[in-house]
Structure 1
Amino acid sequence: MTAQDETFDIDTGGVQGYLHRPAGEAVGKLVLTHGAGGDLNGKLLHAMASGFARQGFLVLRYNLPFRQQRAAGPPNRARAGEDRDGIVAAADAIRDLAGGPTILAGTSYGGRQSTMLAAERPDVADGLVLLSYPLHAPGKPEKQRTEHLPQLRTPSLFVHGDRDPFGTPDEIRAALDLIPAEHRLILVEGGRHGLEPERGDVVDRTVATALDLFAIR
């Protein structure tokens, strides 16, 4: 059985999701979640979970608390702290299931909440993988979501489409300059906010860069 087929249900400690187990001993744990308009069944999340599992990660693909509460609709921004608590619970749910570093990963809103959590609590994770970070709302570049970035001490990988209306490549580069921790940027040619997993070898590039950035051999 290949690694991407070894998927197990998980529903513990208030965390709802699926575990993707690698074929052999795990090299690390990836805690992977969705954006404001999606859920754990998104195409990109499936592809990333399989890609990381093939390279030895134990992956938890899970729903944030707001999505557990209702099947559709955006999160309540006033209750974003509850979603960050959900990220902590997800990381705790698999922390002792395998060795290696614990990496928080998320698309858009889920990625932003992961960075905010890591800035507040650097002990929660050893690294971050941010897919389509929502730097600002489309058409509102003056309202950038960067206040916490100077406090981010966690090595971070950003994966961003060069046609993403939530942040141009130049805007993203300028924002990342605020981060004192080591960080990398993968630009996906032709990619928009909803990154397509088959475009530009985005899964393979993300996994390979993560392995290098987080010094996983």
Structure 2
Amino acid sequence: MSDAHTAVILTHGAGGDMNFSQLVSLAHQLASHGFLCLRFTCKGLNLAHRLKAYTAVWDYLKSLQRFTVKRVFFGGRSMGCRAAAALARRLSEESEAAVEGVICLSFPLHPPGQMHAHRQRSEDLRVLPAHTRVLFVSGTEDDMCDRVHFDTTVKEMKAQVEILWLRGGSHGLKVKGRSEVSVMEEVNLKVISWIRNQAAQAP
């Protein structure tokens, strides 16, 4: 299937902006490889507000009759991927074919030092159906993603999960001793190859 039939919707995390460098880099790479990519901003920190914004963008994508979109991936960074997972969960309850997968850059499993919040924050992930694919990209030094609780969450998920761990990476996917360009090249390559792999496995 041509990449032109695949759409990816991306949004940033809390306090981010439309030109957050990591998402700009990923969006440019997706577009250069022929994917339809929509990147949007949402200033509100409330998850419900972000979910409404994500839903509006999803509805906009469906209204673009000049594109023949056959598979859709939701994604985002930090709070943005929480909203992506929440919308994917809701849509999967309405239609099995609505969303192919979710791309989670630095999923914020809990606030720093508050591991007790991981159950509530991971609820949408844990109930995603088995046909959904999820890609996590997280840093091994992310203070919002305790590795033990994260591993437990993944084991409880029904969805098909793949993980890219950035050794030494922070919540902002910064790696000491590596340039941001180098890190994003690794991330972008993983995301694009993962999306293409899902298409290759599709019936």
TM over 0.5: yes
1:92 to 54, 59, 78: 59
State the Cα distance separating 1:211 from its structure 2 match.
Answer: 1.8
State the Cα distance separating 1:197 from its structure 2 match.
Answer: 5.0
Q: Is the 8 A contact 1:44 1:197 kept in 2?
A: no
User: Root-mean-square deviation (CA), in Å?
Assistant: 2.1
Q: Which runs of 5+ in 1 are unaligned?
A: 1-23, 68-73
Identical positions, percent: 29
Is 1:50 the counterpart of 2:28 in the alignment?
A: yes
State the Cα distance separating 1:138 from its structure 2 match.
Answer: 0.6
2:19 to 36, 41, 65: 41
- Equivalent positions of 1:154-193 (< 5 A) are 154-193=132-171
Normalising by the residue count of structure 1, what TM-score does the alignment of the two structures yield?
Answer: 0.76
| Alpha-carbon distance in 2 for matches of 1:115, 1:58 | 20
Query: Secondary structure at 1:143's aligned position in 2?
Result: helix
Q: Is the 8 A contact 2:3 2:33 kept in 1?
A: no
Paired position in structure 2 for 1:62: 40
Q: Is the 8 A contact 2:138 2:169 kept in 1?
A: yes
Paired position in structure 1 for 2:122: 146
Letter in structure 2 aligned against 1:207? I
Q: Which runs of 5+ in 2 are unaligned?
A: 174-179
Higher-helix-fraction structure: 2
Query: Secondary structure at 1:177's aligned position in 2?
Result: helix
Q: Is the 8 A contact 1:129 1:210 kept in 2?
A: no
1:116-157 deviation digits (Å, cap 9, x = unpaired): 222222145221111100001111112212223331122111
Letter in structure 1 aligned against 2:78? S
- Equivalent positions of 1:95-134 (< 5 A) are 95=62, 96=64, 97-122=67-92, 123=95, 124-134=98-108
| Alpha-carbon distance in 2 for matches of 1:114, 1:169 | 21
Normalising by the residue count of structure 2, what TM-score does the alignment of the two structures yield?
Answer: 0.81
